[in-house]
Amino acid sequence: MSFVDKVKEMLGQHSDQAKKGVDKAGDMFDQKTGGKYADKVDKVQDKGNDYIDRSSEGGTGGEAGPNEPR
């Protein structure tokens, strides 16, 4: 089992915690930058949460990475 597969399995089992982590990291970034990039951070948080949702549903989580077959 590759590292990526292990991460996907973990996301599937703990998707709520992973989403909280994404939101918390984005909020911390907003705080450190004074909200200067809030719109971009929100988009990244949404994409991250979408990826987690797809991974937890047994999907591929998105496009294949550079070391994964397409």
Domain borders along the chain are 3-56
- pLDDT for 17: 92
pLDDT band with cut points at 50, 70 and 90 for residue 58 = low
- pLDDT for 8: 77
Residue 17: phi and psi, rounded to 5, are -70, -40
Q: Is the pLDDT of residue 33 over 90?
A: yes
Q: Is the pLDDT of residue 70 over 50?
A: no
**17-39 average pLDDT score:** 95
CB 29 within 8 A of CB 37: yes
Q: For the chain, give the mean pLDDT.
A: 83
